[in-house]
Chains A and B, each alone.
Chain A
């Protein structure tokens, strides 16, 4: 078995996808289907943001495909006037992989939720990320099962009381960002449903990234888990808790920028008071999503816990890595160039005899 050097991608995430000069507007991306999420559902805001964001890419809408699994968020494709498939529970990344491998001229988006992506579809998620297939995965994390009416999900807090866990859930929740980084995802980001600007920035970067882009979107489910992210939406609380990730800038936050992120002795990251850091001659960490070693982004993802005490928001990691679909196509092209597709010769093989 020999390993081949694969080289790094030089292409952008949308290279090969045809563009158009026709001006586009958000309404061009609205399908004729009535949107049927519950009133106040965070999914509405994400849908609107997506519909206003897509025109900025200037792609031909027929070359955009949304693939979803099962769950509230997975109705998303029906509302987009693009191609779309509402598939089966957990399997959207697998189906989207087939699409992406078959067609370099498509911009492929997967819409999934915490149950869909992290429970039933956990396997496909990590393998898609490890392969770095050129598709964008938007994980709407509402920390609950909505469509099945309120059971705890793999991102629900331990101890959560739901219909299926009247005495409190026993599961330790996944941190989706840590999981994606563990699978060595090349692009990992987090956004809030309510933050249109931040979400748009993340979506833009995800679209431009060649490879799998994993975006966790905190999404409120007013029916079964209302207020799960309220602490990140209250202005004062948010200032104390959200750590904005800005490339090239020191990681500071707080109403007065009084907190910062520093390295621990064991190579991890932690929050400290800025005043104490400078007093001790310490150094604030300057955010760099392009560090190849996923350990840095992983350490960042470990700041804060299930109570959202501290929550980094933005792009954790954005590194260049060869994509599976580009390489798969390269192999086919290489094989075609080196050997003619002579079917008769194939059928004849080496040893024939004539009667």
Chain B
């Protein structure tokens, strides 16, 4: 097994007192996975985020996985209070935040205990020894100190007294001991930045800006950051530093972006490209609140954000705004969608454009608010009373959230319908480099409001349910348009004319018309990645599992086997070529973070068997896990049953 990114202790204990700048060996790596873990109050998210920004600025490809407790401040030093941030960066295009960290930074015993199982043997663990007191060890159930009892022998352990060193570095700042110690996360960032030759200017600039109002805190953080760097540079603990070259990505200008930010930008862009004001009605909910926060910053684009009294009022205001001629948007997570269902139904009945964003989290009920899952698919498809078809789309990566937000707007505006966008916790908070699109290349979403009477009998009336023959969309006649006064609502309406109708045949026709409208939505064909053209197994996925499935496929191919990959971003309607694609392969395997919801839909729709592979652990799939599943299927074994067939490389390049 090749070692990646793992600091190696100095071979010799001979100090070299003569040089200020120590000579270390520099090893070149193609990729590294680092996990920063500490107490929720230790600032691990910020630390990971800064490391990521530096990697992005350096030009690596990267993917991140923040993981934090639902409690804002879980009891200090406990396992439930551990917060971590994993970053995977590489000199080529990568697909996932990485399965297992090459390097674990553990700021306290709880962080060590909670994460050690994920570190492969031989991996590096950098620990803040100051926190390994008897009391802290007992708190998490360590009977003996793992730093001393030999239990960490399979790993390379780097004990660093981070709290003490940080306090020392800040002793002249006049900060209290406690305040000084709070900067220890920046010490760890400095140390890791040194070890991986990361640029430092960005971080220093960031800290100065973030704490502009508190110059002493800004200075303390910068000093701690430098102290960490200098510690690596001057002590003898670390023999080798590592370089990960910039990635060879398609040319263009990049930035780092999270899924929630990309989604919010997509909504801003949709407003600009449609020429409509945007009204977001939303209620705070994890993990979707950042969309509300982000959009609230961009009122200069004609965006109104309304933090409603509840989920229902959020979507109600959005639908009211759509009726008024704005682009109505509501953002939430699964429990919020449950509350919004009735209003989504009203949107279907009144045939008004509306974007419903569901950043899925673990369910049911309150479930796992900060963890990821894909278990709202059936809720999005069917979770309403009556025959209530709604288009459903799902971005596949953080950056893809931008494009899919524009797609949600295209569908909602063109077909006058609510459209549900299913993101999830992993891509919402995860980030990746994003090839910034040229605004001029974005789709034109301009809409036409009705301006004239449209009665089919030639009278001077406006009939609200006359449809476009192509899209089956009805006209959008907004209040204020003279002569087009009409009434809409949740009661069944007569075809064309739009009066209340209890006529049985009319209801049957209207139900079928609403269904036909959604079925007829134009969505791009699904593409298949089948490099050898020899695969008999197709790995199919939807939404955020794109990365792990792709990485799993790469591993399978590296070990000489054939596998094809196809990914669905459009769930309703499904791409029109999907049936034909599925038939091309002997076996279709579909990993989902639910109990097989899409598999069930596809079996019913195409009458083909789907090998469903499911996991609902609150975390994304791991590439190694999927590679093994795929390999077993290729070898005609039941997943998990290891025959004597070819085995997948578990540490292959993803």
Which residues in A have some Cβ–Cβ distance to B below 8 Å?
31, 33, 60-63, 65, 67-68, 70, 77-78, 80-88, 91, 93-103, 105-106, 123-124, 127, 328-329, 331-332, 334-336, 338-341, 343-344, 346-349, 351-355
Contact = CB atoms under 8 A, between A and B. Distances in A.
Given A98-B320, A98-B326, A344-B439, 12 more contacts: A78-B500, A84-B489, A94-B317, A95-B319, A96-B320, A338-B300, A343-B268, A346-B265, A346-B268, A348-B253, A348-B436, A352-B253
A123 B489 contact: no
B363 interface: no
B51 interface: no
A83 B486 contact: yes
B647 interface: no
A353 B56 contact: yes
Contacts of A31: 487
A124 B302 CA distance: 25
Nearest to B302: A332
Interface string B313-357: 110111111111110100000000000001101100010000000
B48 interface: no
Contact of A97 (B302, B313, B485, B486): B313
Interface string B227-255: 00000000000000000001111111111
B436 A101 contact: no
Given A351-B53, A354-B254, A88 B346 contact: yes
B387 interface: no
Contacts of B308: 94, 127
B304 A355 contact: no
30 contacts: A62-B482, A65-B479, A70-B490, A83-B485, A84-B489, A85-B320, A85-B488, A86-B487, A87-B346, A88-B343, A91-B312, A98-B281, A98-B319, A98-B320, A98-B324, A98-B328, A102-B325, A124-B312, A124-B316, A127-B309, A339-B300, A344-B438, A346-B301, A349-B257, A353-B254, A353-B255, A354-B251, A354-B252, A354-B253, A355-B252
Contacts of B268: 343, 346
A97 B436 contact: no
A347 B487 contact: no
B437 interface: yes
Given A94-B308, A97-B313, A347 B59 contact: no
B487 A77 contact: yes
A83 B59 CA distance: 55
B306 interface: yes
Contacts of B481: 62
A228 B304 CA distance: 44
Contacts of A81: 485
B487 A84 contact: yes
A61 to B, nearest CB: 7
Given A87-B490, A102-B277, A97 B253 contact: no
B308 to A, nearest CB: 7
A65 B323 CA distance: 11
A86 B489 CA distance: 4
A115 to B, nearest CB: 16
Contact of A67 (B254, B279, B320): B320
A83 B487 CA distance: 6
A335 B249 CA distance: 36
> Which 5 residue pairs spanning A and B have beta carbons closest together?
A98-B320, A86-B489, A94-B316, A98-B317, A335-B299
Contacts of B615: none
B437 to A, nearest CB: 7
B439 A347 contact: yes
A353 B57 contact: yes
A336 B252 CA distance: 30
Given A94-B316, A351-B255, A106 B57 contact: no
Contacts of B302: 332, 336, 341
B256 interface: yes
Interface string B245-276: 01111111111110000000100110010000
A314 to B, nearest CB: 30
Interface in B420-450: 436-439
